[in-house]
Amino acid sequence: MTHGSPIKGVMICGAGHSGSTLLGLILGRADGAFYVGEGAKIRYLHDLNKPLRKRACKVCGEDCPVWSDFHWDQDQPLYRQVAAHTGAHIIVDSTKNAAWIRARSDELTAAGDQGTLIFLQRDGRAVLNSRFRKYPDRDAAEQIRSWMDQITDSREVFAAYPGPKIAVHYEELATQPDTIVRQICALAGIDFRPEMLAFSEGESHPMGGNTGTQFVAARDKVEGDPDAILKLTPRTHDYYAKQSGDIKLDLRWKTEMSAPHLALFNDMASAFNADMAWEQDSK
């Protein structure tokens, strides 16, 4: 890629725990694509005041062949710098933060590049179950309010986004991956290849993101390494250690979510969740 060649930036908005790492890994397997993970973590590269999992590649650590010698000039467009550094012309970013997306979108527009925005939605009960599992000591009502705020922010940035955009449900991505990924690729001007759906094959160098999904994708490199950043905790081990690398619908909330948490969610967010709710028997 020459310095003046246009690039594509594919950004994902929505709430955490909605499958953005999975989608990012899939799109990162397109020809000419590079998945940065959560691009906002690039701000923490080489900052020894940040924990290693935030300031280094989740797969390689500080010796990453991509990130170990990358330094972001914040006066210049980020995706252009990543493209020049990696040789890619499609940069995929699952940061999700609305302000971050607006800033990167402005950079893309100013540079004459193309941006595409994906609003990845997931049944709020699944999202909150994941958060309750990860943060059992945090106030449940506050976690529900935080999720609603993230979705509200994402709806606003998605509605205002001036370029190509698409809303995608995680559950449809997981059950109809070929169809959904083809739709995204057609919108973003990416050549679809069936091999993209084998998200656990090939290399990945993500900053931030979901450890369980990344572990499945990088198992051969990190399993058994005592120094690996990607380690399954007792909370996640039984689920992710058994994953084959195929795309699989995660409906753990149906058996894990406690009756009090479900009642609280229904009381606070049932109407808010209506267009994201996924009832498997009716789909």
Residue type, 18: S
Q: Which of 104, 100, 122, 124 is nearest to 114 (CA)?
A: 104
pLDDT digits (tens, 9 = 90+) for 21-44: 999 999 999 999 999 999 999 999
Q: What is the pLDDT of residue 283?
A: 44
Contact 212, 219 (CB under 8 A): no
Residue keyed to tokens 């994906």 = 118
Question: Which residues neighbour 274 within 8 Å (Cβ) at sequence distance 6 or greater?
Answer: none
207 forms beta bridges with 37
Q: How confident is the model at residue 48 (pLDDT cuts 50, 70, 90)?
A: very high
Q: Is there a contact between 151 and 272 (Cβ–Cβ < 8 Å)? A: yes
The pLDDT of residue 282: 45
Angle, CA 54 vertex, CA 53 and CA 59 arms, to 5°: 45
Structure tokens at 122: 């997931």
Superfamily of segment(s) 8-277: P-loop containing nucleotide triphosphate hydrolases (3.40.50.300)
Give the C-alpha separation, 280 to 168, whole Å. 16
Q: What is the DSSP track for 106-153?
A: HHHHHHT-EEEEEEEE--HHHHHHHHHHH-TTS-HHHHHHHHHHHHHH
Radius of gyration of the chain (CA): 18
> According to the model, what pLDDT value does residue 237 have?
81
pLDDT tens figures, 130-153: 999 999 999 999 999 999 999 999
The residue extents of the domains of the chain are 8-277
Decide which of 220 and 108 is more confident: 108
| pLDDT tier for residue 4 given thresholds of 50, 70 and 90 | low
Phi, psi of 14 (to 5 degrees): 130, -165
Residues linked to residue 2 through DSSP beta bridges, in sequence order:
none
- Is residue 27 helix, strand or coil? helix
pLDDT at position 1 is 39
Strands 165-169 and 90-96: unpaired
